[in-house]
Amino acid sequence: MDLLTKTLFLCLALALANGAPAPGADEEADAHVAVPDRCEGIEFDAITPDEKGTTFFFKGCHVWKGFHGPAQLSNEVFKELSGINHSHVDAAFRMHNTENTDVHDHIFFFQGDKVFSYYNHTLEDGYPKQIQEQFPGIPSHLDAAVECPRGECTADSVLFFKGHDVHVYDISTKQVKTKNWPHLPVCTSVLRWLEHYYCFHGHNFTRFNPVSGVVNGTYPKDARNYFMKCPNFGHGSHSMVPKCSDIKIDAITTDDAGKTYLFRGPMYMRLDTHRDGLHPFQITRTWKELTNGVDAVFSFMDKIYMIKVEL
């Protein structure tokens, strides 16, 4: 029996145990839970950034903090999440793009028919609540959830996934529209990162349009090549970002939305806020015609102009 299967069986046993646990029983059981290795290939239960931009990956009783490092018990980070029969996290998202200061930068976790709201890793007063109380019209036992701000969706919204149904919750009006996307894999977790939306299924992911669900490009792709640092995995641009003193930047510009682009050879990096960090991409990923990099760039009137001198 492999390590992941053992972990799932133990978590299930904890969830189905009858009667109240003896004092200290939870701690004793937790101490014997085998620690999974996401580099072996894991289907995550939920993925979400926190208010500082750190991404958390949940599986069963465990959570990983960031794109590298070992797992730890999730109740060591968000202790109240273990309070409902040790059930795993069904879905999670960070509420960031909203004018409602009461929930701005709060993380919402979903377990069964309950929702938890955390800020600065502290459970807010009055939680957990029934999902219907916080998000009217949204079903229980969700598969995944992700925020979708205005401009990427029609209005500031949250996308709730259950099977092939996607429930689009308008944050302002609290209205729900349900779509069916049978062409998209059933997502066990969804992550929004740098304005792109990623549906995770198995140890793979598929990037999709948050309005139509359309998938462009060659998918699925192995998450271990992009969203974590694993031995013998990684795509062409998956590398540590060097210190500024060690590199020469070919060009740099900031667009009207405040996003900064740095260019070096065939690669570029984009920085929206310090929380997103820097990650290198192939220039042709966004500008397919720029096969030889750029010599200079500048922004003007909501456009980016790129100059390449061909000899």
Which of 69, 49, 47, 46 lies closest to 274 in space, CA to CA?
Answer: 49
The CATH-assigned architecture of domain 3-225 is: 4 Propeller (2.110)
pLDDT of 28 over the 50 cut: no
- CA distances to 38, 55, 301 from 74, rounded to whole Å, are 15, 13, 47
Note the helical H segments in the chain.
3-16, 25-31, 131-134
pLDDT computed for residue 307 by the predictor: 82
pLDDT tens for 259-299 read 788 888 887 877 765 555 556 677 887 787 887 788 888 88
- Check residue 303 and give its pLDDT: 84
- Please state, in angstroms and rounded to a whole number, the distance separating the CA atoms of residues 298 and 253: 6
Distance CA 254, CA 213 (A): 30
Strand order in the sheet with 280-282: 251-254, 260-264, 267-271, 280-282
In a 13 Å sphere around the CA of 41, the CA atoms on its Cβ side amount to: 8
Mean confidence (pLDDT) of the chain: 81
Give the sign of the dihedral formed by CA 55, CA 130, CA 152, CA 121.
negative
Q: Which residue has the higher pLDDT, 107 or 288?
A: 107
- Asked whether 82 and 135 are in contact (CB, 8 A), the reply is no
Contact status, residue 158 vs residue 166, Cβ threshold 8 Å: no
Confidence of residue 2 (pLDDT cuts 50, 70, 90): very low
Name, in order, each residue with C-beta under 8 angstroms of 68's C-beta and a sequence gap of 6 or more: 228, 229
Q: Per-residue pLDDT tens for 59-75?
A: 998 999 988 888 988 88
pLDDT digits (tens, 9 = 90+) for 142-195: 999 999 999 899 999 999 999 999 999 999 999 999 999 999 999 999 999 888
Query: Where are the domains positioned within the chain?
Result: 3-225, 244-307
Q: 11 pLDDT exceeds 60?
A: no
Those residues whose C-beta lies under 8 Å from the C-beta of residue 8, and which sit 6 or more positions away, are 60
